[in-house]
Amino acid sequence: MIIPRWEWRTFGDSFGDAERNINAHEKGGFKKSEEKYILSRLSNENVKIRDDLIDIKTLKQVNDDKLEQWYPAMKESFPIGKDKLAVLFNEYFKVSAPEFTQNTYTYTEFLEDIVTPCEDLVIVEVYKERQAYTINDATVEIAETKFNGVPMRTTCVEHTDPENVIHTVRELGLVGFENINYIAAMKTAVGMA
C-alpha cells in the first residue's frame, strides 16, 4: 500500500540557524544521483527519469500550512508503449500527444524523437548530492543540486503525517523560508517560470 508523504522544501544559498540545527543531528545516508526531469509549460507535475524508469509524482493536495502531498502516479521502464506515452502527454504534461510512428520507444527514442521536438517540454539535467537525517521520525535532507548546470541548494522535511512535518519545520527554524517544490525551482532556474 502506498502512503503519500507530505513535503516542505525550500531553496537558497544558505539556511542560517536552521542549517546549523539540522547539522547538529546525526547524519544518515548520503546519495549522489543524476536524473532527467521533463518540465511542461502547461503542467506542474513531477516527471523524471531515473535508473531507466519514468517516475511520475502528482500533487494530490496542499494543506493550510502549505505543505504539499505528492502521490506516486506512474512508474514505467523502457521500452515504453505508445498507449502509456499518450497517458503521459495528455494527463501529466497536459500537452496533446504527438502522432506515434511506432508501438514502443526506447529511452533515447523517447527523449530525441518524442520529447525534444515538443516546444512545450524542456529536458532538465539534474545532479543531486543529498545528505539525509532522521529528525522526529521525519526525513530531513540538505542537498546540493544542479539544474542544467545551475547550482541550487535545497533542504526539505518529509513524513506521512503533516503535523509532524510542520512541527519539525518549526523546531528547526525553517518557517521563515518559502516552501518551494522541485518543479517550481527548476522552472525558475531554466527560465520557464
From first to last of the 193 residues of the chain, give the pLDDT tens digit. Answer: 677 899 999 999 999 999 999 999 999 999 999 999 999 999 999 999 988 899 999 999 999 999 999 999 999 999 999 999 999 999 999 999 999 999 999 999 999 999 999 999 999 999 999 999 999 999 999 999 999 999 999 999 999 999 999 999 999 999 999 999 999 999 999 998 7
All three cell numbers of 3, joined, read 502512503
The label of the residue with cell 494530490 reads 60
Task: List % helix, strand, coil for the chain (3-state, nearest 5).
Answer: 25, 45, 30
Q: Taking the model in full, what pTM does it have?
A: 0.91
What is the spatial distance between Cα 80 and Cα 103, in angstroms, rounded to a whole number?
Answer: 8
What is the spatial distance between Cα 178 and Cα 193, in angstroms, rounded to a whole number?
Answer: 16
What is the spatial distance between Cα 136 and Cα 8, in angstroms, rounded to a whole number?
Answer: 15
Tell me which DSSP letter residue 110 carries. I
Which of the following CATH numbers is that of domain 5-189: 1.10.3470, 1.20.120, 3.40.50, 2.40.320?
Answer: 2.40.320
